Amino acid sequence: MTQPYELTASEARKLIGQKKISSVELLKSCLDRIEKVNPIINAIVAIDQSVAIENAKQADKKTLNGEELNLLHGLPVGIKDLCMVKNLRSTSGSLINENHIPNEDDEIVKKIRNEGGIIFCKTNTPEFGAGGNTTNKVYGTTVNPFDIKKSAAGSSGGSAAALACDMLPLANGSDYGGSLRTPSGFCGVSGFRPSPGIVPTVDSSICLNPFSVQGPMGKNVIDTFLLLQAQADINCNDPFSSFNSLSLPESLNESDLSSIKMAYSSDLGCAPVDKNIEKTFLDKIETFKQNFKSSVRSHPDFLDIHNCFEIIRGFNYVSSHGEKYKNQKNLLGPNVVDNVKRGLEYNIEDLTWAHVEQTKIYKNFRSFFEDIDVLICPSASVSPFSHEKLFIDEINGEKMSSYMRWLALSYAPTMALPCAWSIPCGLDHLNLPFGIQLIAPAGFDSKLSEIACALENILNANEKTKRPKPII
């Protein structure tokens, strides 16, 4: 018999609306699942159980009274621990904020509540989201549900692992250099990096530099898109906010892939990729490329993407964490320290060059999509690695020049301000989850989501490419 915690968000929302399951029943089922599994995985790091149950009871009253129900009515939602949740410990994974209890919700949390979501827990993240492995000095390490010796990746590793284990039906994430996409790939779930402005970003220290975005995560594309609909909004404090956020369809339809031109690349021409991951990817492509109108092995020209990314990232980290580095360095972990230190070494000429280079990359990217609808590549360059490692320092015998270099498959497209899905695509050569990215230019969120929905159904119909589920 299917337990409530096993339901997808869309299934649960339908059953709640039909009065076949209560919000309280669903929440308690998730809490029981967390109690059983989370001591092993360490994905959930703070819970507001009593308030959540009371909110679920109020949701059930609305249902029974026949009131109009919002998008997420009665659905438990996990919030990445970079976001502030009123009266719930919110640390950002840092000793600096170890005992921080916010007095109010972040805007995205308010939006989820307003759409009926039951905010009940925080999911683990590396300190201030800086890292490709979800570990910090406050809560420790989130492990991979498919192999507890492996990493769930980062920085949205807590959200991804919790979803994979059915601890919750929906979770939010955030993405700069793959923080949402890589964990989705490592844990066999779905995640979406929306175009800048679709989900308003109002808490950034540099809001005119829209590389970091909030985004939804779920067990499948339909669920993830449901959370996107709830997160999307217009907010004048985000200069990239536009009416595009209101153009998302009420329901997600499958795209006709026979009309879609697809390009694919194992390395985007710039990323170090493990030779086994490359083989896995090319083998997976062969199972579904015939469903598209056309397919070509190609990619945009990302020029000197690595130096460009590191300079702009350094600039962002100095703006966000420079004061902490100056005054509280002893409390910061190595990833934040490294990023700020690197940023301080650059000068105005470096920054000028990086912005000029990034503009060229952006134009190359847009030009590439003049005759291509979607670009597909792996979600990660490597298979899930030991959770004791902070990052991958070597691929195919090549030493990585920074802790971020192994994430180039994600950060290269980031510099072109795309929208991008990560969806499960079976298992890799080590029988661990393998994910693929679907990438398109900014503003193509709806079209790309329809393509992802159609492709997901094709993948799930094939034993070699269907979404894997952990035995735990």
pLDDT 10s digits, 41-94? 999 999 999 999 999 999 999 999 999 999 999 999 999 999 999 999 999 999
189/468 Cα distance (integer angstroms): 9
Residue in this structure with the two tokens 């009515």, named with its chain if needed: 73
Q: Is 155 a catalytic residue?
A: yes
Specify the pLDDT at position 1: 53
Q: Which of 80, 111, 122, 219 is catalytic?
A: 80
Which two three-digit tokens encode residue 170? 């929906």
Average pLDDT over residues 276-291: 98
Report the sign of the C-alpha dihedral through residues 319, 322, 328, 333, in that order. Answer: positive
Q: What is the pLDDT of residues 323-382, one digit of tens each?
A: 999 999 999 999 999 999 999 999 999 999 999 999 999 999 999 999 999 999 999 999
Q: What is the DSSP string of 114-148?
A: HTT-EEEEEE--SGGG--SS-EETTTEEPEETTEE
Mean pLDDT, the chain, whole residue set = 96
Q: Which of 10, 29, 92, 155 is catalytic?
A: 155
Q: Is 179 a catalytic residue?
A: yes
Longest dimension (CA), the chain: 64
Question: pLDDT band at residue 206, thresholds of 50, 70 and 90?
Answer: confident
Q: Which of 92, 179, 295, 422 is catalytic?
A: 179
Question: pLDDT band at residue 235, thresholds of 50, 70 and 90?
Answer: confident
Query: What are the backbone angles phi and psi of residue 27, rounded to the nearest 5°?
Result: -60, -45
160/186 Cα distance (integer angstroms): 8
The answer, as to whether pTM is greater than 0.95, is: yes
Residue 203 has pLDDT above 80, yes or no: no
Report the sign of the C-alpha dihedral through residues 445, 448, 453, 454, in that order. Answer: positive
Question: pLDDT band at residue 207, thresholds of 50, 70 and 90?
Answer: confident
CA 81 remoteness from chain centre:
13
Please name the residues in contact with 4: beta carbons below 8 A apart, sequence gap of 6 or more.
12, 21, 25, 26, 29, 30
Residue 215 has pLDDT above 60, yes or no: yes
Q: What is the pLDDT of residues 85-139, one digit of tens each?
A: 999 999 999 999 999 999 999 999 999 999 999 999 999 999 999 999 999 999 9
Q: What is the pLDDT of residues 303-314, one digit of tens each?
A: 999 999 999 999
Specify the pLDDT at position 14: 98
Domains of the chain: 4-460 (3.90.1300.10)
List for the chain the helix, strand, coil content (%; round to 5): 40, 15, 40
